[in-house]
Amino acid sequence: MKKRIIVTGGTGYIGSHTAVELIQEGYEVILLDNLYNSEAEVAGRIGQITGTTPVLEVIDLCDASKLDATLKKHSGADAIIHFAAYKAVGESVNKPLEYYRNNLVSLMNLLDSMRSFSIPHMVFSSSCTVYGQPAILPVTEDAPVQPAVSPYGNTKQIGEEIIRDAVAAYEQINAISLRYFNPIGAHASALIGELPRGVPENLVPFITQTAYGLRDELKVFGVDYDTPDGSCIRDYLHVVDLAKAHVIAVERLISGKNKNPYEVFNLGTGKGVSVLEAISAFERATGVSLRYSITGRRPGDIEKIWADPSLANRELGWKTLSTLEECMRTAWAWENEIRKKK
């Protein structure tokens, strides 16, 4: 029998790419999403890529009784991959209670419901934001978690703590938190990708929208950092590489290969890339030149961070395969695809 995986936030950016990889690896996938930041049509697009359109349950995870009813229906499921969350850093500063309520109530409801309906495993979508500015680079999973600079970041830290404590208390639940660095790019089919609402906060959607002519220019937030070219450094990884790590994490839990009931892994390339290098990579990969100017620092930005992914390399047998140019090419193809639809 096919293993059944519930993917919350399954029509979102990382959720949809993960659903594709799961289906291609032979899993049955059920998507849960409230469509707050994504479209139902994505389920059909997953079907176009894989030949199997997953079931989509439109549900708000904060509604505990509806969630119970949904998980009861799918009570034989083998695991949950939990992506559903609000994720705009800037917005979270202005709407902290919405962020805490949405991201944490949904997580607690899920853990409760998993216990009620005997779903034993969770993979949680966490972030390198938990490290703040690490003292030592590349950053390993043992680096101390630092006070969050935004309510969004804090929901990831608290989310990890809730899961750690729940796993310790309830023997029937095992979990893996995956700390993503900066996911970018889109599926090679250009059928799914990131759909930012309004003006994008993140670098790559801003680059592709500027290149397309939707924005006048990209503003580079500061070139006075203590980095080789003065701009901030991040670890950008392709969303399909990231999606594949979730399949491996789920397999690890289902087959009982996890070494502890709760595990944490960094997911990144291990290579730091500056904002100016990212712009050059985009121009090289697409042949499109980008209008940009230098402006002041963005409050709350970390100067430099990149992953030490060796634990994931070793334990999960996972590493990133796509180059930065492939990331940029697929992001650009997706931007062009979105505009065709509109």
Pick the closer one to ligand UD1 by CB: 202 or 310: 202
By CB under 6 A, which span of 16-24, 167-175, 294-302, 318-326 interacts with ligand UD1? 294-302
Q: Which of 6, 56, 192, 218 binds ligand UD1 (CB under 6 A)?
A: 218
**Per-residue DSSP letter, 47:** H
Give dist(CA 238, CA 86) in Å, integer. Answer: 21
- Residue 185 region, left (φ>0) first, then alpha (ψ -120 to 50), else beta? left
Q: Which of 23, 67, 71, 203 binds ligand UD1 (CB under 6 A)?
A: 203
Give dist(CA 271, CA 234) in Å, integer. Answer: 8
Residues 45-74 that bind ligand UD1 (CB under 6 A): none
41-50 vs 13-24: helix axis angle to the nearest 10? 30
By CB under 6 A, which span of 63-71, 199-207, 306-314, 329-337 interacts with ligand UD1? 199-207
How many residues touch ligand UD1 under the rule CB under 6 A: the total is: 22
Residues 10-29 that bind ligand UD1 (CB under 6 A): none
Cβ neighbours of residue 66 closer than 8 Å, sequence gap 6 or more: 59, 60
Q: Which of 27, 86, 99, 152 is catalytic?
A: 152
Q: The tokens 């850093």 sit on which residue?
A: 89
List the Cα angle 130/133/139 in 5-degree steps.
Answer: 75
Q: Which of 153, 185, 272, 309 binds ligand UD1 (CB under 6 A)?
A: 153
Question: What is the sign, positive or negative, of the torsion defined by CA atoms of 208, 49, 243, 313?
Answer: negative
- Cis-peptide, bond into residue 151, ω within 30° of zero: no
236 is catalytic: no
Pick the closer one to ligand UD1 by CB: 4 or 298: 298
CB of 69 to ligand UD1, least distance (A): 31
Q: Which of 221, 227, 310, 311 binds ligand UD1 (CB under 6 A)?
A: 221
- Residue 183's H or E segment, with its range, is strand 182-184
By CB under 6 A, which span of 15-23, 61-69, 145-153, 239-247 interacts with ligand UD1? 145-153
Task: Tell me the backbone φ, ψ of residue 153, rounded to 5 degrees.
Answer: -60, -35
CB of 241 to ligand UD1, least distance (A): 16
Q: What type of residue sits at position 69? A: A
Q: Which of 8, 113, 182, 330 binds ligand UD1 (CB under 6 A)?
A: 182
> How many residues are given for the chain?
342
List active site positions: 152
**Which residues sit at the interface with ligand UD1, rule CB under 6 A?**
87, 89, 127, 129, 149-150, 153, 182, 201-203, 206, 218-221, 232, 234, 275, 298, 301-302
